[in-house]
Structure 1
Amino acid sequence: MRADTQCLQVDGAWRVTARVGLDREEESRLFLLGDILLSWPTDGLIVPVSGPRLARGCMYISEINSKPGGLALDFGSELQARQVLEVIAEQLRRASERLAGRSRTSTPPPPEALDAAGWTDQVGDDSMQDLIAEYTEMPGVVAALLISNQGLVVAAVEKESVEPETIAALVVDTLAAARRFGSAADIGELDTLSMEFERAGIFLAPFEDDVILALVKRPHPTGVTDTRTSSSQ
């Protein structure tokens, strides 16, 4: 996969652009994977009045590939724009590895991407894997993930394939929406978040500063709860 990312000052704003190019084999692999979702922090994102710019926090690679101008995001400050640039570039690097058939969890993010996300000092690859591996021994848990507050996978242990990058891309906006709900309803800060879907359950909780723990569970039969997960809350 060919990927080009840039950060330029345009009309008083800082614009982040990303373009991708896929060959026929990569397009087929992307289809079989069910697409790959990219996400980015939206702090400082300028809502466009018109034109090709976006005001959203995620986009599928197939969408970026199909748009003539690719992805274009405007931010109010250079710092915010360059942080988003690093996050998108790292996710594109991982996506390229997946499309090439390489492991998505064996290579840690480069230092510059970790710096942009703000958790360089917290990542110890093997130790993180060992820590979260214990969670997969809990009844029903099929995967444990550590996700940065920028939507990058810090570590992942899977007993079943769960698409960590897609989950990570969605977790940030999901938590942001839940926090806004808590604030608007005047019910305090968000502690943990548990969601049950038809084919899986997701449990989210703070792990360390700027790092989120996500547990993916098999759905419980009606009326049955996982007491070990409940007690950990």
Structure 2
Amino acid sequence: MGPHFEMPPGCLQAFVTIFMLISLVIYDRLFVPTVRRYTKNPRGISLLQRLGIGLTLHVIIMVTACLAERKRLKVARENQIFDKSDTVPLTIFILLPQFGLVGIAEAFVETAKLELFYDQAPESMKSLGTSYFTSTLGIGQFLSSFLLKTVADMTKRHGHKGWILDNLNASHLDYYYAFLTILSFLNFFFFLLIAKHFVYNVDVTESRRGIAMETSSEASSQDNKVPSRDNEVLKTGLS
């Protein structure tokens, strides 16, 4: 960031949290009330639709990361930068779009996952469903490390240089991100197959019933207030 300030790479994770918090506020305060008028769904959109939007964003994130890495490698080649200790003359904000999209996707996927595990679990398994949500995060980290190690080893076979090396300027992370784009698309396709046959347990039906009951109770309370005012006027006139 300019000639006098260097941002530690780990700080980029802060943008994920910032974009996620902003997205949650916009989603809850603007998106849901607006969409609810058309969908008649108390949540605005269903849990599966929210998951689908997040998984679609995951595909876009991988495409964005691939393009950003290709741009970085192009600049590195143009400036003859091949040592891992050399700095590529690019602003760190070239990575901001993909980290920002990660935060937006987390607002859709992770929140919907937590609600899905809790809402759709039987009454006796509510706490267990929440623990399943946490378990998916841990399992995902293990699978991510396994996938990274496997790709790094397989691409080094038969005398090839490999995609993932200690030197990023000599690596091909753009190929790896393209591979993750394919996996993300397959994940989204598999999600569509499952979602097509998914039957909600207690979600929209109960929520609609609750809103209907609240609306009817508010209407009845207003109706009860009107006669009382008429009675007061009547008593005043008689007196």
TM-score by length of 1: 0.25
With a CA cutoff of 8 Å and minimum separation of 6, indicate the structure with the bigger relative contact order: 2
Which has the higher Rg, Structure 1 or Structure 2? 2
Higher strand share: 1
TM-score by length of 2: 0.25
